[in-house]
Amino acid sequence: MNTPSEVTPKYPILDDLSVSHTVLEIWQKTTDIIADLVNVPAALIMRVHPDEIEVLVRSDSVGNVYRAGERAPLNTGLYCETVMDTLRELSVPDALKDPQWNHNPDIKLGMISYYGLPLTWPSGEIFGTFCILDIKENYFYPKYRELMFRFRDSIKLSLGTIYENHLNTTEARQAKEQIRTLSQAVEQSPVSVVITDADANIEYVNRTFEWITGYEAKEVLGQNPKMFQSGKTPPSVYKDLWETIISGDLWKGELQNRKKSGELYWEHAHIAPVLDPAGNICHFLAVKEDVTSQKRQAERILHQALYDPLTNLPNRGLVNDRLEQLLIEAQRSNHLVAVLFLDMDDFKKVNDSLGHEEGDKILVQAARRLTGAVRDGDTVGRLGGDEFVVLLGGINSASDAGPVAESLLDRFRRTFQLNGRDLVLTASLGIAVFPGDGENAAELLRNADTAMYHAKEQGRNTYYYFTKSMNREVSRRLMIEEQLFGALARGEFHLCYQPIMAIQNRDFVGAEALLRWSNQAIGEISSDEFIPIAEQTGMIVQIGRYVITEALGRAAQWRRNQEKNFKIAINLSPRQLRDPDLVPFIEDALQQAGVPGECLELEITEGVLMSGHSYIDQSLTAIGNLGIGIVMDDFGTGYSSLNYLRNYPFDVVKIDRSFIHDITLNDADRVLVNAAISMAHGLGLKVVAEGVETEDQFVQLSEQGCDFAQGYLLSKPISADEMIKFLETQKN
């Protein structure tokens, strides 16, 4: 194995010429400035040796993984090796996307993009490279490449000085020559360059400085840079600047200065001291980039990030931040903070009927009304959709939020003007108060939201304060919703059946299928509790299919055993009617069970019909065409039942149990039931009375000509196995 001195160099190199400490310091500041201007983690000056390449100078920047003096062997596929092989610039935007660089050792360090230039001695021998590296994809824009060329030229001039004098030049002369070469290199630089003496009197400015500031060089030479100050930059910034550079360190930061025309502009400055051979400051070098457009763009981006683009109200992020600040202030001052969560009632109908563009106009009007109803220091924000929030700070009592809530709701009770039309849109509002209703912003917003939903449940167009009982209701709902997912796969659902009797001959002719859910974590959950959640989450479609399949299978079995046309009644939800596959599924389920359509009755409530959607008509017509009976459930509890009976293909009406309960005690209920039966018969419809619990009720219904009865008098809901025994008993 050859020793290092015996290795034949891959390139013609001068390995015995050293670079002085003064030049290395200047190069150090060069790499620092380059790394910061181009915004990369690493700027390097590399020097080649016979069989290795060395990190001679590294930028002192965050994320630079290279160490000064660190060496790597040649012939390993390094970026810099390719630059020295070709003596040309090299740009690698993303090595991970280029098969040529798969084995590049720099990739292991995370440096996937590279731009480098060759450095040579005046005699042609290779010195090394000047390069920048990044951990992300980077195409190194032309202005940065131009900057690299300028600084490369200054480095090559220094190499020329070292070569020509063969280390006989003093460090003082090197420093002076370096300042001269830097001036030449940056004369055409895309950034401003200013050089001052030790007293900060301007000795040199480049053309870019003249173009940006509007001052000619002759107007500023000998002047102090204070002449550019706008008064907008805090004095603390200048204090920090001078303390940094007079201590020998590089300062970088942003300054807001004034042009000759009086126009303000922002510049990102790098200011570094230059030392003489004795180590004393002899000059200051400032490299400055005009970042006014970037600052304005950043302000626009920040505004977009914090404000709702439609209403220009604070968005969720800014609302959270302001609420956190209010909570901190409330703890100091011992005040309260109220969070008012507001949601417009039935706003979806506006979007559905008028379109989202018109709906947006309403939201803009709503935002103006809200901001006009609060104090200047209060925050009105939009969280999304038609949800708004109001933050009230510095209040002394929770009751202080009540009048504000009422004022907000009152503004929504006034008609909205839209294209010459008057629209009435109300809102519901919930209130949570710190510290009693939550200790942080997220908890307060969540609890105010809970109180708002409670207001909607109580009839809308009102407000409610949050209470712990509301929280318990929400927690239980979330638990039910969580357990509802997967309940069907876990086999947690089962059906019970309540027999239906023909009143005149006391013969059991059918049963209603009733869904039951038993969960290991919660226990038994009533259908009144979980069905609405299944509706809202969309899970009711799959659950409904299970009910249809299971119930029809049982009905087929009972029809065979009873040898008669036994019917099964199943409740159908609004969400199921929106399912385009509902009718095909029912048709297939009938075929699989081997029963005709007349075996099945589907019960729907008046609420299903109130939307007036066309798909309701289409679905009910298709169901009727299969011979399936359609039942209006809970008849008498709505407002327009008679109109619906006239316009939809119903076969049966089911009188709600609330009317049956007092039929033998209350003359009004008896008259209403009698009228309902007569009206239904007049329309050719059959009548089922549900909730029959006493013999007197049964006799009364018989006398009134009611067709069918269902209730605890006849049988409570029973399992499928119990139903078989029940029907066998009735045969005997």
Query: 152 vs 8, which has greater pLDDT?
Result: 152
| Cα radius of gyration rounded to whole Å, the chain | 42
pLDDT higher than threshold 90 for residue 278: no
- Residue at 372 is within a domain: yes
Residue 216 belongs to a domain with what CATH number? 3.30.450.20
pLDDT mean over 346-365:
83
- Scanning 401-440, the segments in alpha helix (DSSP H) are 401-413
- Which of 536-545, 546-555, 610-619 is modeled with the greatest confidence? 546-555
Is 451 domain-assigned? Answer: yes
DSSP state of 415: P
Do residue 11 and residue 130 come from a single domain? yes
Element housing 269 (H / E): strand 264-275
Q: Is 448 a domain residue?
A: yes
Domain that holds residue 102: 6-141
Q: Of 120, 141, 162, which marks where a domain is finished?
A: 141
**Which own/partner contact pairs does 564-567 have at CB distance under 8 Å and 24+ positions apart?**
564/509, 565/509, 565/598, 565/599, 566/509, 566/510, 566/511, 566/599, 567/500, 567/509, 567/510, 567/511, 567/598, 567/599, 567/600, 567/601, 567/629
pLDDT score at 730: 75
Q: What is the pLDDT of residue 640?
A: 46
> Which domain-ending residue is among 296, 317, 343?
296
Q: How many domains does the chain have?
A: 4
Structure tokens at 57: 């100078």
Q: At residue 317, does pLDDT exceed 70?
A: yes
Band (pLDDT 50/70/90 cuts) for residue 617 is: confident
Select from 242, 277, 296 the last residue of a domain.
296
Positive/negative CA dihedral, 157, 160, 165, 166: positive
pLDDT-derived band at 258, boundaries 50, 70, 90:
very high
Does any domain span residue 513? Answer: yes
Residues 210, 235 within the same domain = yes
Reference 600, options 559, 635, 634; nearest CA is: 559
Q: Is a pLDDT exceeding 70 seen at residue 636?
A: no
User: Given strand 281-290, what is the order of strands in its sheet?
Assistant: 202-205, 192-197, 281-290, 264-275, 251-258
Task: Give residue 134's pLDDT band: very low, low, confident or very high (50, 70, 90).
Answer: very high
pLDDT, position 4: 43
Residue 305 confidence class, pLDDT cut points 50, 70, 90: confident
- Phi, psi at residue 612, to the nearest 5°? 70, 15
Q: What is the CATH number of the domain that holds 24?
A: 3.30.450.40
Write down the pLDDT at residue 119. Answer: 96
Query: For position 542, which CATH number holds?
Result: 3.20.20.450
pLDDT for res 3: 43
DSSP assignment, residue 111?
-
In a domain, 590, yes or no: yes
Statement: residue 71 has pLDDT above 50: yes
Judge if 444 and 505 occupy the same domain. no
- Written as six digits, the tokens of 168 are 């006989």
What pLDDT was estimated at residue 179? 59
Count of all residues that appear for the chain in the document: 732
Query: Mean pLDDT in the chain?
Result: 87
Q: Are residues 401 and 545 in the same domain?
A: no
pTM of the entire predicted model: 0.48
How far is 732 from 716, CA to CA, in rounded Å?
20
Q: Report which residue type is found at 481.
A: E
* 327 and 288 part of one domain: no
